[in-house]
């Protein structure tokens, strides 16, 4: 059945919005229509966390909580989900939630603008985990910026949660919420609001039918790139096809030769799986945006955006990944190495979507990846370098090297790879090879880094890669 109504839970109440404006952000809806102003707008581009809300969804019969940036998610995203905002954390008899209580006790409430966002990020962490170590705490608030005081009191507040009873009001109402979420179990939706349309199919079959009957649409996955057209460029997106509700696009399959990831799989889900195979892929993902961004952003969206500084792209290039592309009548497989054709341009045709990405699991390789950015967390790369070597008898049998931020497209360094092939694994080999990067790469200078800095750092990353391989020690900033 098709519906034009977005049906969701606001905490424990079912709300329905008929034919909403599909370009309205959740933040705008909360502040202007629910008239709840605890959730703030800082940047309107996913970068500060002031607008953080928590989404509850059913996963294997349990409620999974995710912090998201409400400033860059559109209202139809709420369909079938629970929305929790900072006002909902206070219990019906007026008691602060343990997370709020800890923020008060440890003086973590530093300014009224950022505190609600910090509270919501910590609430999501509190609900999804049993204990909270420094790494988890820092990751959980990596998308919440404070420019006035610092993070210590907030981290102290988060650490104190280890000592308290985990049963809060939300634990008590869990069964009721599970029942309600099952009851509103989302239908596929089709919204037509004046000249804007929003389709949210549930299956690939439905998706293909919608593609056949429409033109000039935009696919929407996590929206962490697309939504900025509305919030930053002040443009309208007239026709959206949402891919996020299609279960067939949200999966991770692993066999002995490759890991296949559905295009609409969130980066958060993916990072936990890839960790077992490529530790540095995981390390780069941990510095990709923030938890809020990775909870919705997808690997398919990152590839289709084709940004020269997209973090997964140099990694997927050096791992020789393949992209499965589909249209209503066709299926094809393209090596990612043939996919990017110009600045933010790919071989995707208008009616084609990415179905999945296959990442080979190399048997005997050394893989390393490094992200260089001005800030450790929640920052876009100036340079991202990815190195994949197959070594035989102390010689480099194969070298696959790729960089982001070093040309108009994420790019393999083929001249450098060629000079490394069949050479001994020595510092001299690498010192000689690093100058070949000048043949491969032609970076620009911009506000993130100058051309000269980028080239120098790319060369240094190659040397760093050798040093780490040679000493079997990591030289990382943590
Ligand atoms: C605050 C912030 C921080 C960020 N940090 C980083 C970072 O550290 N590293 C980084 O690489 N990026 C970063 N980004 C950029 C952004 O997260 C990526 O571009 C993201 O991967 C896009 O994925 P998405 O699912 O959100 O795509 P969407 O925004 O939904 O879509 C992006 C584009 O891809 C198309 N598309 C989406 N899915 C498909 C599909 N399956 N088939 C065909 N086309 C498709 C859409 O039509 C659209 O044109 C950041 C963005 C923000 C706002
Ligand atoms: S307002 Fe800054 S992340 Fe949303
Ligand atoms: S808490 Fe708002 S700027 Fe520091």
Q: How far is the CA of 122 from the centre of ligand 3 (A)?
A: 15
Could you tell me the distance, in angstroms and rounded to a whole number, from the CA of residue 1 to the centre of ligand 2?
35
Q: Give 83 Cα–ligand 1 centroid separation in angstroms.
A: 23
Cα dihedral angle (207, 209, 214, 218), rounded to 10 degrees? 10
Q: Look at residues 56, 153, 172, 159 and name the one whose alpha carbon lies nearest to residue 108.
A: 153
Task: With beta carbons less than 8 A apart as the criterion, state whether 343 and 443 touch.
Answer: no
Taking CA atoms, 67 is separated from 25, 155, 179, 444, in Å, by 15, 17, 22, 35
Query: For residue 24, how far is its CA from the centre of ligand 2 (angstroms)?
Result: 15
**With a 6 A CB cut-off, is 314 part of the ligand 2 pocket?**
no
Query: Among the residues of 191-290, which ranges form H helices?
Result: 204-213, 228-231, 267-274, 279-286
Enter the tokens of residue 150.
């610092």
Q: Residue 306 region, left (φ>0) first, then alpha (ψ -120 to 50), else beta? A: left
**Phi, psi angles (nearest 5°) of residue 415:** -65, -40
Q: Residue-wise over 24-44: b if at least 16 C-beta within 10 A, else e?
A: bbbbbbbbeeeeeebbbbbbb
CATH architecture assigned to 251-360:
2-Layer Sandwich (3.30)
Task: Using the mean position of ligand 2's atoms as its centre, give its distance from the Cα of residue 424 in Å.
Answer: 50
pLDDT at 376: 87
DSSP string, 105-144: HTT----TTTHHHHHHHHHHHHHH-S---HHHHHHHTTT-
Q: Report the Cα–Cα distance between both ends of the chain, in Å, rounded.
A: 50
Handedness of CA 8, 9, 14, 15 (dihedral sign): negative
Atom of ligand 1 nearest to the CA of 307: 19
Q: What angle do CA 312, 443, 223 make, to 5 degrees?
A: 35
**Going by C-beta distance under 8 Å and a sequence separation of 6 or more, which residues neighbour residue 464?**
370, 475
| Assigned CATH class of 1-186 | alpha beta
Out of 45, 235, 304, mutate this one to test ligand 1's pocket (max ligand atoms within 8 Å of CB): namely: 304
Instruction: Give the residue, by CA position, lying nearest to ligand 1 atom 46.
Output: 219
Mutate to test the pocket of ligand 3, among 107, 113, 143, 151 (most ligand atoms within 8 A of CB): 113
Q: Dihedrals φ, ψ of 72, to 5°?
A: -125, 20
Per DSSP, the three-state class of 331 is: strand
Q: Which atom of ligand 1 is nearest to the CA of 373?
A: 8
Residue 289 CA: which ligand 1 atom is closest?
A: 5
Cα(199) to ligand 3 centroid in Å equals 38
Instruction: Kindly state if the Cβ of 218 falls inside 6 Å of ligand 1.
Output: yes
Check: CB of residue 82 under 8 Å from CB of residue 65: no
Closest ligand to C-alpha of residue 374 is 1
| 3-state class (DSSP) for residue 27 | helix
Distances (CA, A) of 116 to 78, 85, 303, 462: 20, 9, 33, 43
Find, among 279, 297, 453, 303, the residue nearest to 372 by Cα: 453
The CA 71 to ligand 2 mean position distance, Å, reads: 6
Q: Is the domain covering 366-471 a CATH 3.40.50.261 domain?
A: no
Query: What ligand 3 atom has the least distance to the C-alpha of 110?
Result: 1
- Predicted pLDDT of residue 474: 87
Q: Specify burial of residue 10 (Cβ count, 10 A radius: 0-12, 13-18, 19+).
A: middle
Per-residue pLDDT of the chain (478 residues; tens, 9 = 90+): 688 999 999 999 999 999 999 999 999 999 999 999 999 999 999 999 999 999 999 999 899 999 999 999 999 999 999 999 999 999 989 999 999 999 999 999 999 999 999 999 999 999 999 999 999 999 999 999 998 999 999 999 999 999 999 999 999 999 999 999 999 977 789 999 999 999 999 999 999 999 999 999 999 999 999 999 999 999 999 999 999 999 999 999 999 999 999 999 999 999 999 999 999 999 999 999 999 999 999 999 999 999 999 999 999 999 999 999 999 999 999 999 999 999 999 999 999 999 999 999 998 899 999 999 998 888 989 999 999 999 998 899 999 999 999 999 999 999 999 999 999 999 999 999 999 999 999 998 888 899 999 999 999 999 999 999 999 888 876 5
- Give 93: exposed, middle or buried? Use CB within 10 Å, 0-12, 13-18, 19+: exposed
Instruction: Give the closest ligand to the alpha carbon of residue 116.
Output: 3
The full set of domain ranges for the chain reads 1-186, 251-360, 366-471
The edge-to-edge listing of strands for the beta sheet with 331-335 is: 252-254, 258-262, 353-360, 322-326, 331-335
Q: β-strands 239-242, 218-220: how paired?
A: parallel
The confidence score (pLDDT) of residue 475 equals 81
């Amino acid at each position: 059945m098709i519906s034009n109504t977005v049906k969701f839970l606001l905490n424990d109440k079912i709300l329905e919005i008929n034919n909403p404006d599909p370009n309205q952000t959740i933040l705008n809806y909360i502040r202007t229509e629910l008239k709840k102003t605890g959730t703030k707008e800082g940047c309107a581009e996913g970068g500060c966390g002031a607008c953080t809300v928590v989404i509850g969804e059913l996963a294997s019969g349990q409620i999974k909580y995710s912090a998201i940036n409400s400033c860059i998610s559109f209202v139809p995203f709420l369909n079938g989900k629970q929305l929790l905002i900072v006002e909902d954390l206070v219990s019906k008899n007026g008691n602060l939630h343990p997370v709020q209580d800890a923020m008060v006790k440890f003086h973590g409430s530093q300014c009224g603008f950022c505190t609600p966002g910090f509270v919501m990020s910590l609430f999501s962490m509190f609900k999804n985990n049993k204990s909270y170590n420094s790494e988890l705490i820092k990751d959980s608030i990596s998308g919440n910026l404070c420019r006035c005081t610092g993070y210590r009191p907030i981290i102290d507040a988060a650490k104190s949660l280890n000592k308290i009873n985990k049963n809060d009001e939300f634990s008590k109402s869990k069964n009721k919420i599970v029942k309600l979420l099952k009851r509103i179990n989302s239908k596929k939706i089709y919204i037509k609001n004046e000249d804007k349309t929003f389709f949210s199919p549930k299956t690939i079959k439905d998706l293909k039918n919608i593609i056949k009957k429409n033109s000039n649409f935009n696919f929407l996955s996590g929206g962490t790139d697309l939504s900025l057209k509305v919030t930053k460029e002040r443009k309208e997106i007239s026709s959206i096809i949402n891919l996020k509700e299609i279960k067939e696009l949200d999966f991770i399959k692993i066999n002995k030769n490759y890991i296949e990831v559905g295009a609409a799989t969130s980066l958060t889900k993916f990072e936990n799986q890839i960790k077992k195979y490529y530790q540095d892929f995981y390390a780069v993902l941990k510095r990709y945006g923030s938890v809020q961004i990775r909870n919705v952003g997808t690997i398919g969206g990152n590839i289709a955006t084709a940004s020269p500084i997209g973090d997964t792209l140099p990694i997927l290039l050096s791992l020789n990944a393949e992209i499965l592309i589909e249209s209503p009548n066709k299926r094809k497989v393209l090596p990612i190495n043939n996919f990017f054709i110009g600045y933010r341009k790919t071989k995707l045709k208008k009616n084609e979507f990415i179905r999945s990405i296959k990442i080979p699991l190399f048997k005997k390789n050394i893989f390393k990846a490094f992200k260089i950015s001005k800030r450790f967390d929640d920052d876009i790369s100036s340079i991202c370098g990815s190195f994949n070597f197959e070594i035989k008898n102390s010689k480099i049998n194969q070298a696959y090297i790729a960089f982001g931020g070093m040309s108009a497209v994420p790019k393999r360094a083929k001249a450098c790879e060629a000079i490394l092939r069949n050479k001994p694994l020595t510092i001299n080999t690498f010192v000689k090879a690093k100058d070949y990067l000048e043949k491969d790469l032609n970076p620009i200078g911009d506000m993130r880094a100058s051309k000269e800095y980028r080239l120098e750092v790319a060369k240094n990353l190659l040397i760093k890669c050798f040093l780490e391989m040679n000493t079997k020690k990591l030289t990382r900033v943590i």
